[in-house]
Amino acid sequence: MGREARAMRIGFLGLGRMGTAIALNLLRAGHEVAVWNRSPDKADALAAAGAEVAATPRAAAEGREIVFSMLSDDAALHAVLRRADGLLAGLGEGALHVSLSTIGVATADHAVDLHVERGQHYISAPVFGRPDAAAAAQLTIVAAGPAADIDRAQPLLDAIGRRTFRVGTRPSAANLVKLSGNFLILAAIEAMAEAMALAEKSGVAPALLLEVLTDTHFNAPVYRNYGALLLEQRFRPAAFAAPLGLKDMKLAGAAAEAARVPMPFLALLREQLVETLVKEGEDVDWSAIGLTVARNAGLNR
């Protein structure tokens, strides 16, 4: 733990692929962590590492100064907040909820109201980076909310990520940035998959195409990392499951609709994900839209 950081009593709700890795890093940083997950067996690894396992979100939040949530979607957050033994019932006055999940803009705005009317604090801090980046405490965190609340959470955010960007005082601004980012990532995957299919059918090795492009104009992690996944056709097990990707395209679409911004690319990406889910099943990574692109080009996969 850094010189400035003090051990805090915190709660953590949601121990999926991302939540488990993040909560482990908070424990390793020396904090006292109470964890809760809907399916209790997923708390075993955390318990073994020294976490206290709570029976309800309320129990994980009571007496804690900061509580994190990392849940799949808006409905999950809603359920965890509102149930009788939920987070809103357990979080003390003045305590802070840091919402790491990728949720919609309107849901984040509503979450602010729910907390403020109870004297509780709320910030959105969605993350970029897959479970391997979470495990390595290398997430990129996009935070928004009152500066004093982000300051309170900053030592904990430092323990789970490489950098925290602050994008505004209204929490949902962070969700908007995160959704925009995921739209851009999926657009890059689709564009790469199309170019790679074109190369392969034309007798050029897709690996060579990628080497040329990622060493020149497209020298960015998103092209290098997802390019490798497409090349190796590593779509299972999912690191970021396709249904969650579809959820994000829907949430980006809702934000675009509310702001009256036509996003025709977004509609196309949504269709590609739906087709991929129909053909490949629910358990593939979102980058499996590359499989759909390849098959539609008549390539043998």
Among 8, 11, 16, 66, binds ligand NAP (CB under 6 A): 16
> Could you say which of 23, 27, 29, 80 contacts ligand NAP (CB under 6 A)?
80
176 near ligand NAP (CB under 6 A): no
Other beta carbons within 10 angstroms of residue 281's beta carbon come to: 11
Residue number with the shortest CB distance to ligand NAP?
16
**Catalytic choice (42, 178, 247, 279):** 178
Q: Binding pattern to ligand NAP, positions 106-145, x when CB under 6 A?
A: ---------------------x--xx--------------
Question: Is residue 42 flagged as an active site residue?
Answer: no
123 DSSP β-pair partners = 98
d(CA 123, CA 153): 9
Cα–Cα distance measured from residue 181 to residue 186, given in angstroms and rounded to the nearest whole number: 9
User: Do β-strands 139-143 and 127-128 pair in parallel, antiparallel, or remain unpaired?
Assistant: antiparallel
Decide if residue 14 touches ligand NAP (CB under 6 A): yes
Task: Specify the stretch interacting with ligand NAP by CB under 6 A; choose among 1-9, 66-74, 149-157, 190-198.
Answer: 66-74
Binding of ligand NAP by 59 (CB under 6 A): no
* Residue partners of 81: CB distance under 8 A and separation at least 6: 87, 88, 111, 114
**Is 123 or 197 the residue whose CB approaches ligand NAP more closely?**
123
- In the sheet with 127-128, reading across from the earlier edge strand, the strands are 127-128, 139-143, 161-166
Q: Which is nearer to ligand NAP, 71 or 277 (CB)?
A: 71
Nearest to 185 by CA among 236, 161, 220, 140: 220
Catalytic residue numbers, as ranges: 178
